[in-house]
Each structure stands twice: as C-alpha cells, then as structure tokens.
Amino acid sequence: MPFISKDWRAEGDQWIKTDDGNWERMKVIECESKNHNSSNDESSSSSPPPHCQIILRSTREIAGFNGLDVAVKRLDFKSSVKNQRRFQYICALLKLLVSGEVILTSLSGGAQRILLQMIEEVALHVNNSKQHINTLRDLVGQLRHLVEQENQKCWGKPLGSQNLWFGHLETIERIQNIASQIEIEPNAAINPQLTELPEECIRKIILQMSDHKDLESAASAWSLMAYIIQEQRIWRELSNFHFNQQQIDSILEKMSLLDTLDRHRNWQTIYHTLRKKYGLRDDFQYTEVLALCRFCRCLFWPMTGHPCISESPEFKEKLEKAGLSFESIEKTQLVPPHQFLKYFSL
C-alpha cells in the first residue's frame, strides 16, 4: 500500500516572518498575494478565483486534515467581509467559533489570530457601512464572555502562549472600542418617515420579517407594530415560510386543531410549537453560501466559481465511458456554516 502523506521526517513547511512580527507559512503568503493581485491588477485576471481543496475523510494512508487558517486565507474571507452577499455567512461562522469556546481550547495560535482579525474587519465594515450593528454587538458580547471566562480561571491561564493571549486582548479591546463608538443617527431628511406610513404598509414590512425575535423586537419598538403582531395572520405566514404542510398538519393533529376553526386563533402557539419541535430554517439568511465541488473536493464561492477538473474534455470522456452522464450528476453541494466547521479538526 503506498504511503501518500508526508513522511514525518520531512523538513516541513517553510515559514516567513510577516511585517506585523508574526510567522506565516510560505504557501499561504503566496496564495494571499495571488488573491491580492487578482483584485488589484486587471492584467492578472487569469488568476483563479478563491478556492480551497480539502480532504473529506482521513484514512490510514492519507493521514491529512484541513487547516482552518489556510482555508480562511485561500477562500479570501477577510475581503469577503466587505461583500454584502457573503457578510452574514462569515458572521455566522465567526459566531459559531467564538460561542463554542473553540477559540481558546482547540484552534491553533495562527487560526485564533486570524479569527480575531476577521472580527476586527467586521467591526470596521459595520462602522463604515452603518449596517448590521446587531450582528457586531452579538460578536462583541461573545468575546467579552470569553475574556471573562478566561479571567476567572485559577489554573492554566492563559492557555498557550502568554504573548499570544496579550495580543488577543489588545485586538478584542480595539474591536470593543470600534463597536462602542458606532452611532447610527436617524436621517431626518428621509420623507416619509416610518411612523408616517399607513398601517397596511407597516403590515407588509412585518410580513417580511423572518423570525419571532424580529417580531418581538419590532413590537417593543412601536405600539402600532405591537398591535399588528397580535394578528394571527402574521404567525400563520411565518409558520408556512419555515415549515412544510406535513409538519404543520402533524402539530395541528397533536394539538387537536386539525379540523376545527379554533386553529385560526392559535397560530402564534402553533408557530412556537413547530419551532421547538423542528427548529427554524436558517438557509434563507445567506445570499451566498460556500459550495463544495463533488468532483475535485474544492470549497468555493458559487458566484466566482473555481477551476475544476470536470471542465476538461478528458474527464467528460471518462464519465461517458463509465456510463454516466455529466448532466445527471449533482456537481456541487452547499455548505452551511456548521457543516463548514466539520471539515476541520477543531
């Protein structure tokens, strides 16, 4: 059986000291500079779009694992924060990483640093765009909780290098400062103001909200919204958005409401029962979701694509010889944030 992985006696990666005094692998720097050139220099438009090949399963022969820091750089997450289509996806990933205590226990020092740099990038973007301030506040809250947890420890603190931890604390402080300075002033020049809109328009706005948390926040902000949110129609539409008819029927049957008119007065309770049993859909909140190519095992952004082996005529010929049609095979699979993290040994 051939041994495909690197020999443990191999010389390892080549490391280079960066301008900010940290160490980085040569291959990652090369990849970063390639991405940077592709975004700045039109003449190098032939450079491949951000993509990262991963190992789906480790075996005894291929004892590989994927590095989160390398994937984050190869997929150009740092610049993608400024991309409106990818912002929510990246923030959902960051939230999963920060809230799961993964940052201090399992990630490598380099991955921890990159993670915090990305949160700082999110803070700067929110500061400039004055949008998604709640997402930033959530992240800052989680970071504060992490620091408090670490400060309460009597033994074994800080985990890993002390200098690394002090560097993290400085970054977290900068992020908190940026977040605390953001102020969003209502623009008095906009006409008409929200409060001047007719009730039917407000109802339409409320019908666009995607979950009960947004509805509750809207209700606490304005009495007219609180009044509209009491309408059962709002909750019925929300239930139909998140759950299929089979799930709704099963709950109606359980609540003995299937064939009665009483169900029209109970949609809020029905929604919450459905939510507790089946959970809410979360894919609607991301405009662009990372995809995994089944042919070359590359993670990539669907809008920009990736260089794929399936594009070569030889590959299509091989498929035809095997009696498979290229069109009939599902080529890609979407990778939600929690699935993305499963590809890494965290």
Q: Which of residues 303-342 bind Zn ion (CB under 5 A)?
A: 308
Quote the least distance from Cβ 333 to Zn ion, whole Å: 11
Cβ-based nearer residue to Zn ion, 164 or 308: 308
Per CB under 5 A, the segment of 49-57, 214-222, 296-304, 321-329 that binds Zn ion is: 296-304
Cβ-based nearer residue to Zn ion, 63 or 329: 329
Separation in Å, CA 75 to CA 30, 120, 139, 299, 339: 13, 18, 21, 8, 16
- Contact between 209 and Zn ion by CB under 5 A: the answer reads no
The DSSP symbol for 290 reads -
The DSSP symbol for 344 reads B
Task: Choose which of 164, 296, 319, 341 interacts with Zn ion (CB under 5 A).
Answer: 296
Task: Choose which of 182, 295, 316, 336 interacts with Zn ion (CB under 5 A).
Answer: 295
Per CB under 5 A, the segment of 32-40, 135-143, 250-258, 294-302 that binds Zn ion is: 294-302
Cβ-based nearer residue to Zn ion, 49 or 158: 49
Nearest to 87 by CA among 48, 137, 135: 135
Cβ-based nearer residue to Zn ion, 247 or 310: 310
CB 197 within 8 A of CB 190: no
- Contact between 278 and Zn ion by CB under 5 A: the answer reads no
Q: Please list the residues that pair with 97 across neighbouring strands.
A: none
Per CB under 5 A, the segment of 86-94, 162-170, 254-262, 301-309 that binds Zn ion is: 301-309
Quote the least distance from Cβ 31 to Zn ion, whole Å: 18
* # chain residues binding Zn ion, by CB under 5 A: 4
Cβ-based nearer residue to Zn ion, 105 or 304: 304
- Rounded CA-CA distance 106/142 in Å is 17
Per CB under 5 A, the segment of 134-142, 182-190, 280-288, 290-298 that binds Zn ion is: 290-298
Per CB under 5 A, the segment of 82-90, 169-177, 202-210, 287-295 that binds Zn ion is: 287-295
- Rounded CA-CA distance 153/157 in Å is 6
Quote the least distance from Cβ 29 to Zn ion, whole Å: 25
- Rounded CA-CA distance 128/1 in Å is 56
Quote the least distance from Cβ 337 to Zn ion, whole Å: 21
Q: Which of residues 91-130 bind Zn ion (CB under 5 A)?
A: none
Quote the least distance from Cβ 298 to Zn ion, whole Å: 5
- Rounded CA-CA distance 171/156 in Å is 22
Output the DSSP codes for 261-280: GGGGG-HHHHHHHHHHHH--
Query: Exposed/middle/buried for 265, CB within 10 Å: 0-12, 13-18, 19+?
Result: exposed
Quote the least distance from Cβ 112 to Zn ion, whole Å: 30
Separation in Å, CA 227 to CA 103, 160, 310: 43, 53, 56
Quote the least distance from Cβ 315 to Zn ion, whole Å: 10
Distance between the two ends of the chain, CA-based, in angstroms? Answer: 29
- Contact between 146 and Zn ion by CB under 5 A: the answer reads no
Task: Choose which of 206, 293, 299, 335 interacts with Zn ion (CB under 5 A).
Answer: 293
Q: Please list the residues that pair with 53 across neighbouring strands.
A: 298
Interface residue list for Zn ion (CB under 5 A): 293, 295-296, 308
